[in-house]
């Protein structure tokens, strides 16, 4: 069997869903399992309902819910077989309207946000399953929630892999054996008690990988709106080139440092079984895309020592200066314990003679962290930063790379630089506003102007 995951833009409208059906039908002999994201923009729209709820603005809430329903109606209206899906959307929207109205004037709790956000995938999967049926492709809508059993860390829930593996085999295999194409939801799950959760933004890729591993897929296809994993985000660098192959570790690093095309955890479940991931463009299915696999032959991109550049905005740099402490045993441990206690993830770390700099993405739990770090040394935080990461093969053995990077990004100022432990990335921090320019200059330097 294979897993075919379609991202938001690949189910955005009726034309996209027709393309999806053609892609899946062409693979019927390989027993595809279809995983879908919400229609493009719908997850943001659902999460955006929290604002009128907080403000107690009934009119704004009604308008926003109506717009979500209309969007699904307009797609279903031109797709034979999709009409019953709209009944579900309308019914869910009514129950959302009443439950959200009951919360007027307060902030929604994380559990409520997850329940809200998850509707997008429930709706899109109904539409797609209906439309496939209407097009004569035998399909079966499958609810992922009893399969994707997770803990209750809302907004970033972790699946219980053993349970998931068993349930996926129990619930999905019979459908595949009956030669039906299951259509299920990415991104969402539920606790053992059935409380809805989500795996974090962009999490549908991770769902597809988990299901691929559970069912022993021959490959996991990630259908999106670009030609594959590229030398940079093509929205920033129009001349970016597609990598024909990539390694798991390389893909994971690119994703961790901002290449949104893959969720950072996607490769993880597939490593042990060596199942390849293929990133493909749903508007140009004839292209070969990028194959990510363990034995990937990593071609050099021309004479460049690097293979791609990613960047991530919304970063805060925390600098801890502790002249007296730094040489002491236990300083770094004490520092990291603070982050661990507050469950704040550190992305990049660089240490100097008397100071340590690190970066975090999530500002929401930073205040207590800074307070506790202040007991260890002098703390400074800088917001509005971006991480830029160049990823290549054996970068550690490339003389003069850092100076070449510094020269290329001038006049932008490089603030923190760190060579990843893996020897395949070099990462540094710049001001957020400089980010796109820095990426373009680096791309010109290493890959030519396109
Ligand atoms: P989907 O909805 O299909 O999951 P996403 O929007 O999550 O799609 O991811 C695809 C986007 O990732 C592309 O449109 C592109 O702008 C962005 N992107 C960032 N870095 C890269 C990269 N190195 N290669 C390809 N795409 C990238
Ligand atoms: N729809 C979810 C999001 O927008 C999950 C995904 O697209 O992967 O984050
Ligand atoms: Mg995505």
pLDDT at 329: 78
Alpha helices in 400-434 (DSSP H): 401-409
What residue ranges line ligand 2, CB within 6 angstroms? 7-8, 37-38, 43, 120, 186-187, 201-204
Cβ within 8 Å of residue 38, ≥6 positions away? 8, 11, 46, 119, 120, 121, 123, 124, 187
Strand partners, 200: none
In the predicted model, is pLDDT for residue 450 greater than 60? no
Which of 9, 203, 208, 226 has the most ligand 1 atoms within 8 A of CB, as the residue to mutate?
226
As a whole number, mean pLDDT of residues 403-418 equals 85
**Is residue 422 very low, low, confident or very high in pLDDT (cuts 50, 70, 90)?**
low
With bands split at pLDDT 50, 70 and 90, how would you rate the model's confidence at 327? low
Q: What is the pLDDT of residue 421?
A: 60
Q: Which ligand sits nearest to residue 208's alpha carbon?
A: 2
pLDDT over 90 (residue 90): yes
* 25-68 pLDDT per residue, tens: 999 999 999 999 999 999 999 999 999 999 999 999 999 999 99
Inform me whether the pLDDT recorded for 353 exceeds 80.
no
Q: Is 389 in the pocket of ligand 1 (CB under 6 A)?
A: no
Strand partners, 321: 355, 378
- In three-state secondary structure terms, 234 is coil
Ligand 2: residue of 116, 148, 204 to mutate (most ligand atoms within 8 A of CB) is 204
| Residues 291/294/300/306 CA torsion (nearest 10 deg) | 100
Q: How many Å lie between the centroid of ligand 1 and the Cα of residue 260?
A: 5
Pairing of strands 346-351, 355-360: antiparallel
In tens, the pLDDT along 7-30 reads 999 999 999 999 999 999 999 999
Give the SS3 label for residue 137.
coil
Q: How far apart are CA 339 and CA 332, in angstroms?
A: 11
Mind listing the pLDDT tens digit for each residue in 242-288?
Answer: 999 999 988 998 999 999 999 999 999 999 999 999 999 999 999 99
Residue of 209, 182, 193 whose CA lies nearest to 149? 193
pLDDT at residue 74, as a whole number: 97
Q: Inform me whether the pLDDT recorded for 201 exceeds 80.
A: yes
Under a CB-based contact definition with an 8 Å cutoff, are residues 113 and 50 in contact?
yes
Give the Å distance between the CA of 233 and the centre of ligand 1: 7
Which two three-digit tokens encode residue 66? Answer: 């109506």
Domain ranges of the chain: 2-224, 306-447
- Distance between the two ends of the chain, CA-based, in angstroms? 38
> Do 306-447 and 2-224 have the same topology in CATH?
no
Average of pLDDT values for 206-223?
Answer: 98
Q: What pLDDT does 305 receive? A: 84
Q: How far is CA 35 from CA 211, 213, 437, in A?
A: 9, 14, 35
Please state the separation of Cα 287 from the chain's center in Å. 23
Query: To which CATH superfamily is domain 306-447 assigned?
Result: VC0802-like (3.30.2130.10)
- Quick check: 171 and 147 in contact, CB under 8 A? yes
The CATH label, of 3.40.50.2300, 3.20.20.150, 3.40.50.300, 3.40.1160.10, for the domain at 2-224 is 3.40.1160.10
Residues that place a CB less than 5 A from ion ligand 3: 7, 202
For 42, 164, 175, the CA distances from 182, given in Å and listed in that order, are: 22, 16, 7
> What pTM value is reported for the model?
0.94
At 160-175, the pLDDT tens digits run 999 999 999 999 999 9
| pLDDT for the residue numbered 350 | 84
What mean pLDDT comes out for the span 304-330?
87
Map residue 417 onto helix, strand or coil. Answer: strand
Q: Is the CB of 42 under 6 A from ligand 1?
A: no
202 lines ligand 1 (CB under 6 A): yes
CB 37, CB 203: distance < 8 Å: no
Question: Rounded CA gap, 446 and 390, in Å?
Answer: 10
């Amino acid at each position: 069997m294979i897993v075919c995951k379609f991202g938001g833009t690949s189910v955005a409208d009726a034309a996209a869903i027709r393309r999806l059906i053609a892609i899946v039908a062409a693979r019927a002999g390989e027993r595809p399992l279809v995983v879908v994201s919400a229609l493009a923009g719908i997850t943001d729209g659902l999460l955006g309902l929290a604002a009128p709820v907080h403000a107690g603005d009934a009119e704004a809430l009604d308008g926003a819910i109506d717009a979500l329903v209309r969007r699904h109606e307009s797609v279903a209206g031109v797709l034979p077989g999709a009409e019953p899906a709209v009944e579900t959307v309308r019914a869910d929207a009514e129950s959302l309207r009443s439950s959200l109205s009951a919360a007027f004037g307060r902030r929604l709790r994380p559990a409520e946000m997850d329940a809200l956000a998850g509707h997008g995938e429930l709706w899109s999967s109904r539409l797609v399953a209906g439309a496939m049926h209407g097009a004569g492709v035998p399909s079966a809508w499958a609810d992922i929630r009893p399969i994707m059993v997770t803990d209750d860390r809302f907004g970033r829930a972790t699946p219980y892999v053993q349970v998931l593996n068993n349930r996926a085999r129990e619930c999905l295999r019979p459908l595949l054996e009956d030669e039906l194409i299951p259509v299920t939801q990415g991104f969402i799950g539920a606790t053992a008690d059935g409380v809805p959760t989500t795996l974090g933004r962009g999490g549908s890729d991770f769902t597809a990988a988990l299901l691929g591993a559970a069912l022993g897929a021959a490959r996991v296809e990630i259908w999106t709106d670009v030609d594959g994993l590229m030398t940079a985000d093509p929205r920033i660098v129009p001349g970016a080139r597609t990598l024909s192959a990539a390694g798991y570790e390389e893909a994971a690093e690119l994703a961790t440092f901002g290449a949104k095309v893959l969720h950072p955890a996607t490769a993880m479940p597939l490593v042990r079984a060596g199942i390849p991931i293929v990133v493909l463009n749903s508007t140009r299915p004839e292209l070969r895309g990028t194959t990510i696999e363990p034995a990937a032959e990593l071609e050099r991109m021309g004479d460049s020592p690097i293979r791609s550049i990613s960047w991530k905005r919304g970063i805060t740099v925390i600098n801890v200066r502790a002249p007296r402490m730094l040489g002491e045993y236990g300083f770094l441990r004490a520092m990291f314990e603070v982050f661990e206690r507050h469950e704040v993830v550190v992305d990049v770390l660089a240490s100097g003679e008397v100071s340590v700099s690190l970066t975090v993405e999530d500002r929401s739990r930073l205040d207590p962290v800074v307070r506790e770090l202040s007991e260890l040394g002098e703390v400074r935080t800088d917001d509005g930063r971006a991480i830029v990461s160049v990823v290549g093969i054996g970068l550690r053995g490339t003389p003069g790379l850092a100076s070449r990077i510094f020269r290329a990004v001038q006049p932008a100022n490089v603030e923190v630089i760190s060579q990843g432990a893996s020897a395949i990335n070099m990462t540094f921090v710049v001001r957020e506003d400089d980010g796109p320019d820095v990426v373009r200059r680096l791309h010109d330097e290493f890959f030519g102007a396109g």
